[in-house]
Amino acid sequence: MRTSRVAVLATGVVFAALVAVFVVSDGDTDVGARSPLLGAPAPAVVTSTVDDAPFDLARRKGSWVVLNFFNSTCVPCIAEHPSLVDFVADEAGRADRAEFYTVVNDDSDEAINGFFAAKGGDWPKLRDTDGAVAVAFGVAKVPETWIIDPNGFVRLRIIGAVNDGVLEAQMARLRAGDQ
Amino acid sequence: MSGGARRLAWAGLLVVTAALLVFGSVRDSGPLTQQDRIDAITKRVACPTCDGESVYVSRAAAAQAIRAEVARQVGDGLSTDDEIVAYIADRFGGQVLLVPRGSGIDALVWVLPVVVAVALVAALASSFRRGAVATGARSRRAQLVVTVAVVVVVGVGGGVLVARQAGQRLPLQTATGGIDDSTASLLAQARLAGPTDVKSAIELYARVLETDPDNVEALTYRAWLIMLSARQFDESLRQQAYASTITALGRAIELEPGYPDAMCFLGIVVYRDGGDAKSAKEFLDRCLERNPPNEVRGMVESLAAEAAAEVGG
């Protein structure tokens, strides 16, 4: 009898603990993924483009910056590409247009140039030869897309392919001052 | 509690304490060479894209990138092993830690087994005693309460000690943090303060320059904000501010000729405060060639046209 009461009590305690864990855990939002970098200054990114132009993320303060981690053989990257092209075209008409950059993940300059020549996308492509940029942002798999505000703070992380209109909606939300 | 039970409880506590002390004292004091350090650190981190492999053994691209980052940080010599592991865990999440943390939810991994073990031992001892000694109902209840209390205290206390000894100790995860006063953080705070609290922004940029006198961003924006503030004061103060701003912006351009903001602000100041349209146009054209960020570009484009019209006229 006592054993059964103890068993019931123990089960209740375990169940309550589980509920507590679920309650205090942060859930992912519909689009944005979690990262300790959200709301923090963006990591340093000092590299060059595949056209050998220097790039320093700290020098882009004053502009919204979108970083898209990409590999030319990754299927979701290829799938999201038309959405990215549309997003950049939409932004081009704005005075506060977001600057869009591809961060090349484990891929060659030749493959990248070939992909963009075939599929379009006239924006800078940043080298990440030893993966330092990916590690700094905690990117394990591509595609991932990050948005950094004009003060240099990380504002959004999207894991996986972005669908049509998602980046546009997220940029509008961020520009309006929503968190 | 009988004398025998009390002695048993004390003996148990002593054994647990002694075991923890021995465990703590015989922990590996750390590798000796840089490669040893790299190997040791990468063995503590799981490859984020593979199942059950450490970064040390994995050949996946993400693991190679982490290994390269570890090697870079070890080579820099500025971070301890724990700080490097913390950096990786901070970026990729606690799931990449092959040895769970000794704090937060992860600590349950260490605490719960100790709690369960102590509870089992206590239950065993209690059942033996029940069989050996017949006591009254009230006495049994009191005994149960004491036993539960001892189990909770010893189990949780022992578990926490084990977690602290065996769990990953990651310095950057402390409440105080390790990056609050970093240059990047000060620059970010200054940037946020800038538009509304110019005085604080200038002070923050000055703090950056105390530790990094050649920080181009701090040199540029401190000079720019000083000039903006000085416009409300008298001519002599404005002249002083103008001279110091030109010097600071010149220094920033000398340090980093490709930095657009310094060139842009130089053009604006030379035109608005120095009244030199010809020089200003030259600086503003150079600024636009350097692809300034949109906030700065917005300030410069119309001014460049204005200066060009004045020079042309």
3-state SS class at A43: coil
3-state SS class at A48: strand
Comparing B156 with B235, the larger pLDDT belongs to B235
Q: Does B68 touch chain A (CB under 8 A)?
A: yes
pLDDT the model gives residue B174:
41
Q: Does A150 touch chain B (CB under 8 A)?
A: yes
pLDDT the model gives residue B163:
64
Under the banding of pLDDT at 50, 70 and 90, the label for residue B179 is very low
Q: Which residues of A touch B261 (CB under 8 A)?
A: 59, 62
B238-286 confidence digits (pLDDT tens): 999 999 999 999 999 999 999 999 999 999 999 999 999 999 999 999 9
B36-81 confidence digits (pLDDT tens): 999 999 999 999 998 888 999 998 999 999 999 999 999 988 888 8
pLDDT, averaged per 10 consecutive residues of chain A (179 residues), comes to 71 78 57 86 95 95 97 96 96 94 96 96 95 95 96 94 93 86
CA A91 – CA B294 distance, rounded (Å): 12
B79-109 confidence digits (pLDDT tens): 888 899 999 998 998 888 887 766 666 677 7
Residues 6+ apart with CB under 8 A from A109: A50, A127
Partner B, chain A 40-99, Cβ-Cβ below 8 Å: 41, 44, 54, 58-64, 95-97, 99
Q: Which residues of B touch A72 (CB under 8 A)?
A: none
Q: Does B188 touch chain A (CB under 8 A)?
A: yes
Under the banding of pLDDT at 50, 70 and 90, the label for residue B16 is confident
Selected for mutation to probe chain A from B174, B294, B296 (highest A CB count within 10 Å) is: B294
pLDDT the model gives residue A98:
97
Comparing A165 with B166, the larger pLDDT belongs to A165
pLDDT the model gives residue B26:
61
Closest Cβ opposite residue A136 in set B64, B91, B260: B91
Portion of chain B with pLDDT greater than 90, in percent: 47
pTM of the shown model: 0.74
Mean pLDDT of B20-31: 66
Mean pLDDT of B130-134: 61
